[in-house]
Amino acid sequence: MTELDDAFGDQKEAKLPRRDWILLPALGLLTICLIAACSELIARRVFSGSKKSVGSCMVTNDPSTGARGIPNCSVWGKGAESSWVEYRINRCGHRAGMECGPKPPGTYRIVMIGSSVVMGYYVPREKSFAALLPLQLSRETGHKIELYNEGSGWGFSHSTDLRFNDVLKEDPDLILWVLTPTDIQRSSLVLPTADLDPWPNLSLPEKAWKRLQRSLAQGSIMDAVAEAFGRTGTALMLRHFLYKSQSQYVKSFLASGDANAGYLKVEQSAEWKNHLQQFNSDAADMEARAMTAGVPFVAVLVPDHAQAAMISMGEWPRGYDPYKLDNELRAIITSHGGIYIDILPGFRSIPNVEQYTFPVEDHPTSVGHAMISGLLARALSEGTVPALKAATPHQPTYDQGR
């Protein structure tokens, strides 16, 4: 054995000091914690939401009316992905951009009902389709069209049915019910329930601890860790950027389970069939009252992010159909004498439909509201509603087939 071999042998036998076995893993862990902390600080700074928002202008504890607006309330709010927005409520509890009361002479008034998408969460009122639609219809028809917006946070079908007398009080010439898949999913809800916020009076850290305790009690440690991470700003930031990919978002949404994605399945679960039965009951009641008052009743489905992405891409997994719910709602509305208009085919010709919604908060952006307004104006003025028929025929812009 040479002297060189002896030197290498001595190096091989050298051992790390005991303190290094402690310091090195500690330094690694500290580095991971610093990276995680910096990521969380950046995420919370970029994707920060306000403590107060539209919920501060809502009554959410009256089961006789459902959640409703507080008259003459005004609040500024910000979602994690949106800018600051003012929510100004009129004396009748609506974010209508005008006061309630008699309509001006010679005006055709549409009263629009629905939930948070209709109310215009996360966008300035003047950029919502509630504000844009009457302007477009006035141009299309040559008549003075006014839209009074009675959309409300948590305004799902049963809650909307409870307040339907308020709709008729506004002397509508037409009632427009703008629906989303969430409205059907939560059709039986009247007020925010425990699944939305089980601890409304606790601080954010206390809520996080409660959720962690609940996850530990119901499942494994890994489930608890996933639950805790899912509530962080870092998780929201990652979802925000990942969900900008249509295909990635659709895969993630379908993996979320039947509770959210069940409406897209060709063979729907018993739970979703029950949702549709409740919706059918509410629709029948409102349409009957509208018919008694001699007011046309029109309904339309506005797709959520996943549904719009499927239609835009023109493909979806076997066993799913983004048009399934649309067809079922049409059958329900028309069976009670109402009018159903269809805007889903219009999304086939819209590229990059991810700009339509906020990726995580899943409400339309200002761009999305403008898209919806254009599609609604076209559908309403094509002759289905004679009073709103366009002065000049539309040129076809997309294939009506599916």
With 0-12 CB in 10 A as exposed, 13-18 as middle and 19+ as buried, what is 118? buried
HSE at residue 209, side-chain half, CA atoms within 13 A, is 5
pLDDT tens, residue by residue, 135-166:
999 999 999 999 999 999 888 899 999 999 99
Q: Where are the domains of the chain?
A: 102-194+258-388, 204-246
Residue 19: per-residue pLDDT: 75
Residue 38: per-residue pLDDT: 84
List, in sequence order, every residue forming a beta bridge with 108; answer none if it has no partner: 145
pLDDT tens, residue by residue, 297-324:
999 999 999 999 999 999 899 999 999 9
Which H or E element spans position 328? Answer: helix 324-335
Residue 248: per-residue pLDDT: 86
Tokens read off for 144: 């003075």
Residue 399: per-residue pLDDT: 42
Rounded to an integer, what distance in angstroms lies between the CA atom of residue 19 and that of residue 400? 73
CA distances from 274 to 160, 299, 306, 362 (A): 18, 20, 22, 24
Rounded to an integer, what distance in angstroms lies between the CA atom of residue 285 and that of residue 262? 26
Smallest Cα–Cα separation from 153: which of 277, 56, 81? 56
Rounded to an integer, what distance in angstroms lies between the CA atom of residue 66 and that of residue 59? 8
Residue 284 backbone dihedrals phi, psi, to 5 degrees: -60, -40
Residue 203: per-residue pLDDT: 56
β-pairing, 145-149 with 84-88?
Answer: unpaired
Fold of 102-194+258-388: Rossmann fold (3.40.50)
Residue 194: per-residue pLDDT: 47
pTM of the model: 0.85
User: What ranges make up the beta strands (E) of 237-365?
Assistant: 297-301, 339-341
Q: Which residues of the chain have pLDDT under 70?
A: 1-14, 16, 20, 193-231, 393-402
Residue 199: per-residue pLDDT: 57
Token pair 């898949």 in the structure block, residue: 181
